């Protein structure tokens, strides 16, 4: 892969700190029926009918199954995660419904790291991660999420 | 064009720990009121953003129980705190396939906006083109 093929290298120009070369290890997420039941109870969701998990599990599997905790990724990049990080935006594309009692492999990369002006913080760092969630080698969902946190002083 | 509505009168603080564990989220604002207060959120824990998104998905699942979600694009605009009441409202396109949804606090303040696209598993006329072709 050369520099022009590297989505990280293309996306982070002008960022607060560089994400070039920052590797997030692959991980896995076991979506059990009992966890789906518990999550549904916790958010007053309809009961499961069949094997199909609550669609929020694409998001949960992406974050819970990535090889590092999102806080550790942010801290590793020198970002102020502990100063009040919030989720800003997300997009989830489903290739198929997620099912319970299934192991999902999660591959994560840094898509963009940008510093922007912020009404709340003065300046804020926007970290966008992209996750691919696969089962038995087939991609089931693609997640892109942006975490926003105050820029370090 | 139709609309949907879903309500949760009280967001439970005790559920947040489960979400944090599942998400691998160690941000203390979700489980420690003192941490939330120290960071300017007030003396109540902050509901994880994905939980708020789940409320909108609940509304869609109740409105279209035979469908599955194909795409979600969401902007998180504010925070939901333990003890808040929330209302999800959505407006569907003429085909019943795309829902523009928002989650608001009891004050009316919108904390989350999303566009949710679904695919309906029903093939109404049996021609393999699905419910969209039946409704055109």
B95 CB burial (10 A radius; 0-12, 13-18, 19+): middle
Residues of B in contact with A94 (CB under 8 A): 68-71
- B1 pLDDT band, cuts 50/70/90, is low
Residue B62 lies in a domain: yes
CB contact under 8 A, B26 and A69: yes
Inside any domain, residue B85: yes
Which two three-digit tokens encode residue B91? Answer: 């407006």
Cβ distance of A43 and B54 shorter than 8 Å = yes
pLDDT band at B26 (very low <50, low <70, confident <90, very high): confident
B41, B81 contact by CB (below 8 A): yes
B25 found inside a domain: no
Domains located in chain A, CATH noted: 3-150 (3.10.129.10)
Domain with residue B74: its CATH number is 3.10.129.10
Q: B44-78: per-residue pLDDT in tens? A: 999 999 999 999 999 999 999 999 999 999 999 99
B26 in any annotated domain: no
Interface list for chain B against chain A, based on CB atoms closer than 8 Å: 8, 12, 15, 18-19, 22-27, 29, 39-41, 48-51, 53-55, 57-58, 61-62, 65, 68-76, 79
Count of the separate structural domains present in chain B? 1
Q: What are phi and psi of A77, to 5 degrees?
A: -90, 5
Note whether B95 and B118 are within 8 A (CB): no
Instruction: Select from B92, B94, B55 the least CA-distant residue to A44.
Output: B55
* pLDDT single digits (tens) B77-110: 999 999 999 999 999 999 999 999 999 999 999 9
Does B36 reside within a domain?
A: no
Q: pTM (2 decimals)?
A: 0.86
Range of the domain at B62: 3-11+47-135
pLDDT of residue B135: 33
Within-domain flag for B16: no
Residue of chain A minimizing CA distance to B86? A43
- CA-wise closest residue to B51 among A26, A44, A131: A44
In a domain, B125, yes or no: yes
Residue A111, Ramachandran bin (φ over 0: left; ψ between -120 and 50: alpha; else beta): alpha
Q: What is the pLDDT of residue B92?
A: 97
Q: What is the pLDDT of residue A24?
A: 93
């Amino acid at each position: 892969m050369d520099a022009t093929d590297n989505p990280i290298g293309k996306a982070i120009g002008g960022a607060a700190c560089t994400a070039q070369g920052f590797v997030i290890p692959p991980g896995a997420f076991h979506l059990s029926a009992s966890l789906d039941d518990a999550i549904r109870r916790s958010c007053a969701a309809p009961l499961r009918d069949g094997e199909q998990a609550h669609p929020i599990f694409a998001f949960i599997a992406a974050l819970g199954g990535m090889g590092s905790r999102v806080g550790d990724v942010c801290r590793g990049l020198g970002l102020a995660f502990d100063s009040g990080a919030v989720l800003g935006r997300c997009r989830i594309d489903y290739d198929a419904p997620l099912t319970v009692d299934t192991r999902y492999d999660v591959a994560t990369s840094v898509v963009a790291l940008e510093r922007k002006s912020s009404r709340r913080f003065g300046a804020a760092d926007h970290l966008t991660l992209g996750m691919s969630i696969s089962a038995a080698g087939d991609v089931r969902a693609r997640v892109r999420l942006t975490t926003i946190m105050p820029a370090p002083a | 064009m139709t609309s949907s509505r879903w309500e949760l009168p009280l967001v439970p603080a005790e559920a947040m720990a489960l979400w944090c564990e599942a998400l691998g989220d160690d941000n203390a604002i979700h489980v420690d009121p003192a941490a939330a207060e120290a960071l300017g959120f007030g003396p109540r824990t902050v509901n994880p953003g994905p939980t708020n998104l789940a409320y909108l998905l609940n509304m869609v699942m109740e409105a279209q129980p035979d469908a599955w979600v194909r795409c979600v694009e969401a902007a998180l605009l504010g925070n939901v705190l333990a003890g808040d009441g929330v209302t999800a409202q959505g407006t569907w396109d003429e085909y019943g396939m795309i829902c523009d949804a928002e989650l608001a606090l009891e004050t009316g303040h919108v904390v989350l906006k999303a566009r949710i696209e679904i695919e309906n598993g029903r093939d109404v006329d049996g021609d393999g083109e699905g419910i969209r072709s039946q409704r055109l």
